[in-house]
């Protein structure tokens, strides 16, 4: 963070951004503004020079074909993203971006794809395809008093195998999640999390956006205090959307074999 702004690094927005994932970046920018924090969004494309510093990193959803198209760029930038995460920079990886942020993506055919290695896990394709509303209880640390109930949407056929000692992002209330035995979803390391929860997840769950921004600013010695008056409309839209998910969570979608 410079003296006057918070830097949000959006990785592969063109290749890994097929599910409205710019909404996650927009939520961070809009929410930060309610705490009088100016933001700068830096987009990273394959072959670019990766910034030497960032305050939040976002990786969105994308298909296996997009991951393959990135070639060796993933392994080139992986060490930098791991260093960011180790330093406490929140890395938010969603959908296929979560798969890519593990150690390895194992497809049903063809060679495995090396990932960023931010999360000590691997994504194994070929699990039951889950197309559902997804309701979770967060294990990611939220601000005091914030609801731990998260809601969104999942559409994936991956089994996420977490290494020993890796904490999941959330417990599954309704939905598929990691599909690796225990009813859990995603992964957490430090201030970073990966999940298949789409929607996009941050606009739907402002308390999670607050937690990411609080983690980003705390490591820089700055308080994060959004103005409730300026967040009221955003919060109401999110509450109404989550209420709709709660009403239809067991009715709207089905498993796909």
Q: pLDDT tens per residue, the chain (257 residues)?
A: 445 789 999 999 999 988 888 999 999 999 999 999 999 999 999 999 999 999 999 999 999 999 999 999 999 999 999 999 999 999 999 999 999 999 999 999 989 999 999 999 999 998 888 888 999 999 999 999 999 999 999 999 899 999 999 999 999 999 999 998 899 999 999 999 999 999 899 999 999 999 999 999 999 999 999 999 999 999 999 999 999 998 888 765 555 44
Q: What is the pLDDT of residues 104-162, one digit of tens each?
A: 999 999 899 999 999 999 999 988 888 889 999 999 999 999 999 999 999 998 999 99
In 3D space, the residue among 128, 138, 152 whose CA is nearest the CA of residue 252 turns out to be 152
Using a 10 angstrom Cβ sphere, with 0-12 exposed, 13-18 middle and 19 or more buried, the burial of residue 94 is: buried
Contact call for residues 15 and 48 (beta carbons, < 8 A): no
Please say whether the dihedral angle defined by the alpha carbons of residues 70, 209, 214 and 140, taken in this order, is positive or negative: negative
Backbone angles phi, psi at 106, to 5 degrees: -105, 105
If one counts every other C-beta atom within 10 angstroms of the C-beta of residue 190, the result is: 16
pTM: 0.95
């Amino acid at each position: 963070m410079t003296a006057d702004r918070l830097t949000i690094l959006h990785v592969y927005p063109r290749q890994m951004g097929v599910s409205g994932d710019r909404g996650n970046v927009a939520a961070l920018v809009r929410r930060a503004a309610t705490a009088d924090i100016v933001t700068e969004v830096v987009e990273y494309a394959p072959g670019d020079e990766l910034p030497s510093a960032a305050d939040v990193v976002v990786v969105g959803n994308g298909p296996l074909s997009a991951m393959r198209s990135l070639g060796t760029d993933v392994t080139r930038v992986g060490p930098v993203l791991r260093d960011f995460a180790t330093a406490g920079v929140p890395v938010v990886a969603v959908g296929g971006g979560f798969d890519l942020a593990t150690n390895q993506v194992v497809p049903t055919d063809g060679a495995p794809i090396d990932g960023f290695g931010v999360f000590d896990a691997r994504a194994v394709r070929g699990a039951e395809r889950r197309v559902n509303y997804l309701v979770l209880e967060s294990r990611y640390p939220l601000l005091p008093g914030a609801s731990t109930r998260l809601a969104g949407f999942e559409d994936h056929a991956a089994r996420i195998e977490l290494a020993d000692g890796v904490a999941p992002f959330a417990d599954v209330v309704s939905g598929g999640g990691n599909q690796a035995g225990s009813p859990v979803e995603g992964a957490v390391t430090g201030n970073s999390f990966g999940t298949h929860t789409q929607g996009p997840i941050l606009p739907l769950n402002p308390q999670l956006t607050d937690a990411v921004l609080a983690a980003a600013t705390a490591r820089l010695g700055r308080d994060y205090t959004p103005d409730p008056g300026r967040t009221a409309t955003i919060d109401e839209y999110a509450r109404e959307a989550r209420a709709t998910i709660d009403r239809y969570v067991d009715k709207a979608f089905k498993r796909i074999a």
